[in-house]
Amino acid sequence: QGIRAWGVAVLCLATLISTEAAARTKPFKMALGDGGGSPQQVMGQKFVELLEQKTDGRHGTLMFLNGQLGDEQSTINDASMGLLDFTLVAINNVTPFSPSVGVLTLPYMMQSLEDAIALTQGEVGQQLVANTVRDANIRIIGWTYTGFRALTNAKRPIHELSDLKGLKMRVPANDIMIDTYRAWGINPTPMAWSETFTGLQLGVVDGQDNPYMTIYAMKFSEVQDYITNIRYLFSIEPLIVSEEVFQAQSDEVQQAILAAGQEATEFSARYLVEQEDKIRAELVSQGMEIIEPANEREWMDRAISQVWPKYYDRLGGKEQLNRILKTLGRDEI
């Protein structure tokens, strides 16, 4: 009798284990361009936890930081081909795959976190999501708010546009950003994000721009001395799922992915507000000097007058930009 009871118990346990194993699917993979402690990583981690909770532990996700799965633009390419499940990248690296997203990299378009939230979470954001699915077979399911990109360099304090002369500035391979530097009077060097730290360290480039939180997480104070607090681009980093992977999920898992993305987005906005000032102070304590530009109006006027008109067509026409400006409560162009 005892032996039979044991047998039944062992059988039940084995069934339980194999059901568990079947229920818990192979983990998703998520690529991130930035390292630990960056807003990308914090938002990605939140999403991973939420997705696991919402699927009762069935869907785990492995995160690969610091460009381990390739530079940001190649991970987007992999996701678009269904070779990678998720990638979390800066918006400027998405524009080459879906041009209308460029509206989020137009210099001085977003002037606050509120503007960034209004554009990403309202009608404009919904349209951009649909466009990226159409153009690149990728779906944006969440937004990381990383703050304004400030300009760093190793050579000298930059107060005015004329101080940029002679500096080798790294930019992402994003033509709106390249044209912005051209409007400011210099020819920047396009370079993948994964090569930027080494490029700065070896002096291939003298400077770059990125948000305070990214500058800190990527330890740029080791290779850069000066930060100029320009506010030309509010950095947004979308969390992307491969459309092929998304469509292969059940309705229930799709809903869990979308809900986790939305909650992680809201968390990211709170995290930025809580952390950004502390991070700026940390950078100063690491020896970086923060400079307020003498006349940012001039940087802004040049960028808007020389860059925007070149991209009207690609971004859906001047009327479309005026509609967007209206939603932000700003004057038409």
Q: Is 193 in the site for ligand MLT (CB under 6 A)?
A: yes
Report the nearest approach of ligand MLT to the CB of residue 178 (Å).
Answer: 12
Query: Binding of ligand MLT at residue 210 (CB under 6 A)?
Result: yes
Chain centroid to CA 171: 15
- Pairing outcome for strands 226-228 and 289-291: parallel
Which of the ranges 5-13, 89-97, 256-264, 295-303 carries the binding residues for ligand MLT, by CB under 6 A?
89-97
CB of 129 to ligand MLT, least distance (A): 19
- Residue 235: strand pairing partners: 147
Q: Contact between 55 and ligand MLT (CB under 6 A)?
A: no
Q: Which stretch binds ligand MLT (CB under 6 A): 88-96, 102-110, 272-280, 305-313?
A: 88-96
Residue 77 as a binder of ligand MLT (CB under 6 A): the answer is: no
Looking at beta carbons only, is 110 or 256 nearer to ligand MLT? 110
Cβ-count burial 285-310 (b if 16+ within 10 Å, e if not): eeebebbebeebeebbebbbeebbee
Give me the residue label for tokens 């554009």.
119
Nearer Cβ to ligand MLT (93/132): 93
Q: Does 33 bind ligand MLT (CB under 6 A)?
A: yes
Distance separating alpha carbons of residues 162 and 185, to the nearest angstrom: 8
- Nearest residue to ligand MLT on Cβ basis: 90
**Residue 55 vs 132, nearer CB to ligand MLT:** 132
Strand ranges (E), the chain:
28-32, 61-64, 86-88, 138-153, 170-171, 189-190, 207-211, 226-228, 234-242, 289-291
Asked if 67 touches ligand MLT (CB under 6 A), the answer is no
Query: In this structure, how many other beta carbons lie within 10 angstroms of the beta carbon of residue 214?
Result: 25
Among residues 52 and 237, whose Cβ is nearest to ligand MLT? 237
Work out whether 90 is an interface residue with ligand MLT (CB under 6 A).
yes
Measure CA 76 to chain center. 12
d(CA 4, CA 13): 14
The answer to whether 93 contacts ligand MLT (rule: CB under 6 A) is: yes
Output Rg (C-alpha) for the chain, integer angstroms: 22
Interface with ligand MLT, residue 34, by CB under 6 A: yes
Which residues contact ligand MLT (rule: CB under 6 A)? 33-34, 72, 89-90, 92-93, 172, 193, 210, 214, 237
